[in-house]
Structures are given as C-alpha cells and as structure tokens.
Amino acid sequence: MDIRLQALRPGFVACVTGLDLGEELPDAAVRAIEDAIATYAVLVFPGQPISIDEQVAFGRRFGPLDSGLQKKLLSKVQTRLGNEAVSDISNVSMDGSVAGRRHRQAMMNVGNQFWHSDASYEHHPFRYSILAAQCAVSWGGETEFADLRAAYDALDPHTRDLVADRTGVFFSHNVRQWLGMEDSAEDMAAYPPVRWPLVRTHPVSGRKLLWIDSKVREISGLSVPEGRALAHELLEHVGQRERVYAHGWTAGDVVMWDNRSVLHRGRRFDMEERREMRRVSTVDDAASLGLAG
C-alpha cells in the first residue's frame, strides 16, 4: 500500500491515489483515510469504478451504513439498485432509461441542488458520504463542497456573536416544500424537525464550524422571517467561491466527504442526459457530533 495525498486546496480537499477501493482495505489504509478526511474534509479518489457491493464494503470500514433514508423515503419512489444501504442519485428509471424531468426520481434529486449536509435533519445525521459516479454528464452536474470551518473562521465578529448560542430547526422537507413538491402526511411525519446548535466543534479536528443548511427553517430567539433571512445570509457566506471546491465528475470517480465539515450541492445539468451516481453514508451518533449532551 502506497497511499498518496495531493492537496487541491490548502487544508481542504485532497486527491487520494495508491489504493484500490474495490479490494478489502488494510486497517492502516482505513486509519490513513480517516486522518486525511479529518484534515481535508473531502477526498477525491479518481479511477475507482467500484461495484455496488464494493462500495458497500468500502463504506462499512468507516462505520455502520444508513439504510433509513432508503426505507423511509427513497424506496417509495423506486428501488432500482436493490440495496437499502445504497441511495440512487441518478436520473434513471427502473427500466434503465433516462427518467424524464417530471419523473419523481428526477424531481427528488432537484433538492440536492441546494446547500446541505446529508441527513442534517436526522437525530443521527450522516458522518461520511461516499458518492461514486457511473455515468457523468457532458456539461454541469458538478458537486460543490463548501468548507464550514473556513466559513466560521471568516465570520465578522458581530455575526459570530449573533450565532454563538443559537440553534436552528432543521426540517427535512424545507427545500422540497419550497420546490413545490408534495409529500404525503406520512412522509412528513417520518422526519420531524430537529434542533442543532449553529456553531459546533469538530470532535476530531477541534475546529469550530458554522452549522447551517438549506433545511433550516427557524433560528432560536428570532422571528420566523428574521431567522430565515439570517439562514439565507449564512448560506450565502458559506458558499463564497473562495470556500468552495467544485468537483467535475468523470465516470469511475469516488468522492468521500465529512458531513460535519462541509456542505455540498449538485449543480444543474441537462436532465435529458444520463447522470448515474450512487451513494452510501455512515451514520453518526450524538456523542461524535461535537455537541454537549
């Protein structure tokens, strides 16, 4: 094993080579990846055309994989990949053809175009997400990552004081409601809102981070309009270009990120074109979130 890291930005995003993700990773490689992601938050593994089973096996080396999202929400749309630990981030219908832009599978993914951390609306959000590209589009469709640690560091003192002791209400359906998508009462009830502090300390790196997300619909101590306006402003701050890395996909790329350190979003593309991706995610627990209690 000869793992090589190449930083794409100072302290943010590294390209990792010298590994075959399709093979069982030695413990030393797992530790090296965990060390690297604590520093860089996003790791890019080019040229790794792994199968579903290989992706699941790779993910499991970093913790238990989530299956709740598939069970509670996505499987109601379709179950093309046949594995509850794997989310289908594709515009492909069950028969293998490109899902039309009004197909629910395609519409569900539109919500991914807004800055978010995977499952931030859950009591047990995701720690690592691992996204593998099978088929990339010819234009657009990049995944952008924004550094929440650098965003906190760059807050002006007044805003830092303003958010210091506040919490946000994170609601799964916030973006989909804004997008005009109709979720059933059962779907809404499956994800009751959760409340998180807007400032957290990463349990491994020790860095403070600004914990905001497009799913925030209220901020403690503020009226609903003022809270939503502040959430919007904070998201604009997080998404400033100097804190963003845009990954343009090539088939066979695998990207792994720490949802505790970055927001991400998918960029627009021509929905008539096939874009095929799949994701596995490890589940976090309250003790590892950097929260008191």
Residues of this chain that interact with Fe ion (CB under 5 A) are 118
C-beta of 50 vs 89, nearer to Fe ion: 89
Q: β-strands 143-147, 199-201: how paired? A: unpaired
Q: Which is nearer to Fe ion, 54 or 213 (CB)?
A: 213
**What's the Cα-to-Cα distance from 66 to each of 195, 276, 281, rounded to whole Å?**
20, 20, 6
Nearest approach in angstroms of CB 96 to Fe ion is 24
- Chain-centre distance for alpha carbon 280: 10
Task: Provide, rounded to whole angstroms, the least separation between the CB of residue 206 and Fe ion.
Answer: 25
Least distance CB 118 / Fe ion (angstroms): 5
Burial zone of 149 (CB within 10 Å; 0-12 exposed, 13-18 middle, 19+ buried): buried
Helix (H) or strand (E) holding 86: none
Residue 263 phi/psi, 5-degree rounding, is: -100, 160
Q: Is 221 left (phi over 0), alpha (psi -120 to 50) or beta?
A: left
Tell me how far, at minimum, the Cβ of 106 lies from Fe ion, in Å.
Answer: 16
**Closest to Fe ion by CB, 167 or 214:** 214
Surface-to-core class of residue 147, CB atoms within 10 Å of its CB (0-12 exposed, 13-18 middle, 19+ buried):
buried
Spatial separation of the C-alpha atoms in residues 121 and 193, rounded to whole Å: 6
Which residue has the CB atom at the shortest distance from Fe ion?
118
Give min distance, CB of 114 to Fe ion, in A: 10
* 155 versus 257: smaller Cβ distance to Fe ion: 257
User: Smallest distance, Å, CB 110 to Fe ion?
Assistant: 12
Which C-beta is closer to Fe ion: that of 48 or that of 87?
87
Q: Which amino acid type is present at position 293?
A: G
122 vs 167: CA distance, rounded Å: 15
Q: In the complex with Fe ion, which residue's Cβ is closer, 118 or 213? A: 118
